[in-house]
Structure 1
Amino acid sequence: MSKMYPRDDVVFRDPTSIQKQQGFSAFWKIFLSQQKESNARAMAFKSELSHPSSNDVEQILRNVDDIKQQICTLKLDMASASVQRQKAQIQIQLSNSEYKSYSEYSEGLRREIEATIVEKEFVDLARIESENEIKRIKASHETDAANFIESMEKVKSRTIQLREEIKAGETLQKKLGITASELNALHHEMEFVRLMEKNNLKTRYVKDEQEVADLSSLQSSKVELDAAKKELSWLKQEGFGIMDVMDVTRKELSHIAKEKENCRREVKEYESRVELLEAKLHEAMSMMESASAAETRADAIVASLSVALRQLHSDIGAARREAELVREETKAVRSQTEMTKLRTSESLEERLGAAMEALKNAKASEAMALEELQQVTESTMTERAISSLWSDTITISKSEYYYLIKQGKAATEVAEKKVTAALAWKEVFEAKEKGGREERWAIAAVDQEIRGIDHVTPRSWHNTKLAIAMPRRSLHVSGISGRINGQISSLSLLKKQPSLKSIAPRLTLDSKKKGKVMEKVVSFLNGHRSCRNIKASA
């Protein structure tokens, strides 16, 4: 019998795992194409940034934001790639566990097949022994039947002989009865003759001849009587012998009947044993049929398992190859990301230096403008305070009015640009915060400079006496980094009424509200990216 055992190089294939692996390979292709595009954009941006201009700061910041977004997308793609790799490893582990379970199941089936084969061999041996025993029982039954038939024929022949002898004895008994009756008749005649002789003594002489004849007849009758007696005794002896023979035949007939009953019992026992052996033979045949069916099922299962194990082996090989490809691709992606990080960090350092210089220049120009403004405001405040002592109205020129409006707009624009630049630098340095200690120092320096710019407070524009003289109206100016929202309505009123009537107007800085504005700026620089504009409330 040909046996099929499972091979060790057989693998089961899961269609869902194949689809996942195909989707993962397609995702990697898309990811590599996006990475190549981002690298090309970074190189082009670096070439553009090799000769930056002072008027292109906003475009640089936008490009920095794009680069940061691309880096974030690359990081997300790397994270998704690592997740996909972990999923592939989990699939490989699951396929390995399935392979182990199928191999164990195939081993169990192989053992069951071997056990069924051994049981089949035992059943074959039992069947052969039962067939031999059935043949031997049939042969013994045939010999016993032949012996019984012979003994029955002998008994029949003996009974026939005994019946014939019994019939002959009955005829002899009848003959003996007839002879006995004749002898009795002769005896009665002799007695009658003797009586006649005693009574007829006188007539004896007359009848001598007759007596002689009677005597001769009597002697002959005596002789016949003796012969009859002898024959009767012989017949009696023969009758006794016949009776003995009949007793022997009766005993033999009873013995034959007993033997017949024993033979019937043995025949019944043989028939019951034959029925038991036939039942055992039927059971053995059914066991053989079930074993053959189980063997066919086991062969089919082993064939399917072998195919499944081959598929599993092929899937494991493909998964390992794909895992190797994924590892190589991840290594390449990591190297490329490191290169892009280095390039972006170098370009960011260069742009940071340029931005720092621009900030220093802007800070110096703003300080000069603040000093000039402070001097002008102090002179105008003193003049207006002196004039307010003698009159209730203060007049300002259109140039001052338009100058105030223009300076407010310029201050708002500069503040917005500074806030956006600070937020961009903050995001860049937060992304690069893990790069090293130097970048953190640069971020701290930028934060300190921005705080220094925002915390530049002008001198006291009035003394206590002038403050007491101007209690009615005040024009509140926010910090450089805030917006001028509360002054738009007042400026529109100024446009309609160029001559403002007040007792003593003053121009002051609300230090408390400016402190709140600076706290908001610091919170922006520390990570609150959602708030883009800082408003100063009047």
Structure 2
Amino acid sequence: MLAESSYKVKAQMQDIETLEKKGKGQHGANREYAQVMRELEYLKKELFKLKLDVASVLEEKSRAEKEIEASTSKMITCTRKEEVLRKEIDEANEEQVLAELARIEALKEFEDIRVQREREKEEFLSKLETTRKKLKEAKEEINESKELEMKLAITVSDVDILQNQLNLVKEMEKRVQGDESVKLLEGSLRKDDESGDSIELLTIKEELEAAKKELALTRDESFQFMAAMDVIRNELRHVTKETARLKKNDSAVQNLNSKLLRKDDESGDSTELQTIKEELEAAKKELALTRDESFQFMAAMDVIRNELRHVTKETARLKKNDSSVQNLNSKLLRTKTKLEAACAAEEKARSLVISLSHSLENLKTETDEAKKEKELITQDIITTKAEIQKTEIEIDMNEEKLQGVMKELEEAKTTEALALEKLKTLSETTMKERALTEKHSSKITISKFEYEYLTNHAAAAEELADKKVAAAEAWIEALKASEREILLETKIVQRELKERMLKEEREVYVKEKTVGRRVSSEEFDRTRKRDKSSSKNLQIGVSRKSIKSNGSMTPSKRAKFQKAASPATRHVSPFTLKKRKKVIPNLAKLFSGKKNTITTEF
């Protein structure tokens, strides 16, 4: 509207100016001048009205802009508040999620602990039953040992009686020195008494040694029981720590609840806060359930503690009985342990001798098999060497042929160059003559012979160049095919060698594990060094042969050769490098010669 009004005002002003100019030029037309002046006044009034309208419009525009700015500021503040609220809600949701995750983890841990406690209960009860049975057996053995002690006391009394009788006999011998018959009778009596006493003593010692063994076993079991008790105590400490962690989570949830209540007071009733409250109430319910479960778990732990106290009392009583038995049987255990150690040493020595003999036989058989495999590998290597030598000879022959062909091409090039020079000289002379003779003419006359020679020579040169290019490409493709075949053969041989080496290393590793427990450290180290040296020699031989086989490749496939070969084939021999250097410049000369011939002919 403003643009249209301004445009109209400008048009009217232009009309007024034209009218004023006409009025000044025509002094006689007073009537027209009066009309024009009236129209001017009318237009001025309209201009004033338009200005008023423009001012009102500008005021309204400024008001609208101010309102827009105020609304934008309000929108920005509202968006900021929304972002703050969203962040707080997200934080609350994250805290709630963390609390739920902690609760889930606590429940899982609680279930795991409960299952472990049940298992430990069952194991503990079974151990208690076994210990009770062993205690009964120990009591029975103690009773038997008491009976044996009674028998020993009887035998000791019998020995004392016999000694008294011997003393009496000695006194009688002093009195009667000449009676040989009496002496013989006394000697026989002594031998009989000593033999009988020694047999009884041996039997008593054996019985006492058996009782000592059983007592030692009961001691070991009691020590194991004490270790299990220590493990249970450690688990109880872990449970107390977990309960403390659950209490901390509860306090964190309460803090979240207080924060949300504050937000509720500040922001008023909103749907999002109500949902958060509902979720918090659900979390509280779940925490209450976890508390109830923890209290149940604590009650179960109290029951376990009471059972443990009962078990400790029984163990103390068993220790008292064990101390009394130990005091009685300490002397007998010493002799018994010595005899058992000697018997065990003899049995171990026999088992070691038998196992060593079996292991030596197995090693001999395995070494024979390894030797046979090595012979087969050497034969394969020899065959691969022969094949590689054949391929190298073929490559040398092909290179010689290439060199002969290159020489022929060079000779042909020289002859062509001479002919071209002659043609150039002839053409220059003819051009000079023609330029002298035909300066004013726009056309150049050429003889039929020259025209036919130039056209035919260009076609023949193109055909020759195409034939040379096709021959070189076919030759390169043949070389690539032969190289691919050689690469495939070398890869197959290398894979077979690697598989065999891996099998040998695995077998040696298994042998070392089985023999390492029985054979001494020095013999083990020697065998391992021998196996390693043989495997290293084989790997070095394979790497050298793979280098020779892969060294005769063309330079166009050099990157593929490095990828296909093993990591040991990086040190290429200088002979093969020289061959490659020979092939590269020859091919470069060939293609450069072709380009030169084509350019010179055209």
> What TM-score, normalized to structure 2?
0.29
Structure with bigger gyration radius: 1
Larger RCO: Structure 1 or Structure 2 (Cα < 8 Å, ≥ 6 residues apart)? 1
